[in-house]
Structure 1
């Protein structure tokens, strides 16, 4: 069960889904997901990322997940990062907080 749902998020996001940039079979693979750019202004993207990150780490609570949302929105300045790069950035940033 996901830790957060749409109503938990504190920031405003774009919730419209646009056309895929690649065929569905390519966009649903794990490799493609991790290598495509992270879009921090899109609600589905942020919600999926936070829930996935939370599942991978033990003892995560809703407050921790909301702190990740804040970091992604306020501290992540580079809009040209892949999901994998954002994950690495977040790992390093959470250790320094």
Structure 2
């Protein structure tokens, strides 16, 4: 199970989400929830869930996914479901 922490991320994020604990309530990859790629409290749980879904546990993979989210993912793709689909189609180890 992926259980990465803030200190495992290599990119710089804002950690100012007003409802930090709400992110723990998100399960799966809902189509109606948007991800702010610059907000650590949103990115970290998303990446942990995605890596769990794929069975990945490496910190190097976590950091590669961070880079892909920040630098490669088109800005028009914002929902958790669509980001997961895009990653499945465009990211490989």
**TM, length-normalised to structure 1:** 0.75
Q: Which residue of 1 aligns with 2:69?
A: 72
Query: What is the RMSD of the two structures over their aligned residues, measured on CA atoms?
Result: 2.7
- From the superposition, tell whether residues 80 and 64 of structure 1 become closer, same or farther in structure 2 (CA, over 3 Å): closer
Indicate the structure (1 or 2) with the bigger Cα radius of gyration. Answer: 1
Provide the rounded CA distance (Å) in 2 between the counterparts of 1:80 and 1:59: 23
Runs of 4+ residues deviating >3 angstroms = 28-31
Q: Which residue of 2 aligns with 1:14?
A: 14
Number of paired residues?
A: 90
Unaligned runs of 5+ in 1: none
Q: Which has the larger share of helix?
A: 1
